[in-house]
Amino acid sequence: MSQQFSAVFVWSRNIRLFHWINVTAIFLLIVIGVIILNSKMLGVSVDGKILLKTIHVYIGYIFAVNLLVRIVLGFVGKNHERWNKTLPFQLGFTKELKDFSQGEKIIYQGHNPVGKLMVAALLFFLSVQMISGLVIAGTDIYYPPFGEYFAEYIAIDKADLAAIKPYSKTNVDEEAYKAMRTFRKPFITAHVYSFYTLLFLIPLHIFGVIFTERKERTSVVSAMINGYKHLPKNSKE
């Protein structure tokens, strides 16, 4: 007898909104980031580079706020919004992963064990991007939340912070500027390598979603649009 499937509401509007804002912001950040990284080869002027970085930062703010809301939602949200349903840290996860990897035919309402590992990896590297990006924005084009602090740190005349501009040495103490650039180097490194890691993880995530959709036929893709997966009665949360 064929297994009976029914529509189960899994992904809330909050989760779906986070997901698609995240997808859009990351896509735009990657495109602009690649252009910035290759600005010399592409012949981008200094003013053009500053403009690109400014746009990159504003999109980064949207990305950061969206990610922070999702992090908070993981603690105060409902059902599959919560971290105990999303991340691989709950009691019994190791056994779930072992059973799943051995081919046990278990269908999960939310993420399967491998999916939870992927979510954890993505959230970690997205958080690295957010934190390092905010520091870089402050040290590079002096944007919030750290821009005013760094501008004041390198200013000769602390009362004239408005004179501190990207790629300008007006009112800039050279020694303080060098110290600031040294401070930001590990954040640059983290930002770049996290970026490359995400370029690997994101296609892997997409492949995993497509593979699960073809294997389970549970409407994995459309569920991130309408919230509903088509699941058997014995599906596991």
For the stretch 186-206, pLDDT in tens is 999 999 999 999 999 999 999
* Burial readout 12-51 (b: 16 or more C-beta within 10 A, e: otherwise): beebeebeebbeebbebbeebbebbeebeeeebeeeebbe
Is the pLDDT at 131 greater than 50? The verdict is yes
Q: Which of 86-95, 138-147, 149-158 has the lowest mean pLDDT?
A: 86-95
| C-alpha 174: how far from chain center | 35
Q: Which fold has domain 11-232?
A: Fumarate Reductase Cytochrome B subunit (1.20.950)
Question: Percentage of the chain with pLDDT > 70?
Answer: 98
pLDDT for the residue 126 = 98
Kind plus residue range of the DSSP H or E element containing 229: strand 228-232
**Region 97-110: what's the mean pLDDT?**
84
Mean of the per-residue pLDDT values of the chain:
93
Is the pLDDT at 11 greater than 80? The verdict is yes
* Rounded Cα gap, residues 107 and 81, in angstroms: 18
pLDDT for the residue 1 = 40
Long-range contact list for 167-173, CB < 8 A, 24+ apart? Answer: 167/46, 167/50
Is the pLDDT at 65 greater than 80? The verdict is yes
The domain limits of the chain are: 11-232
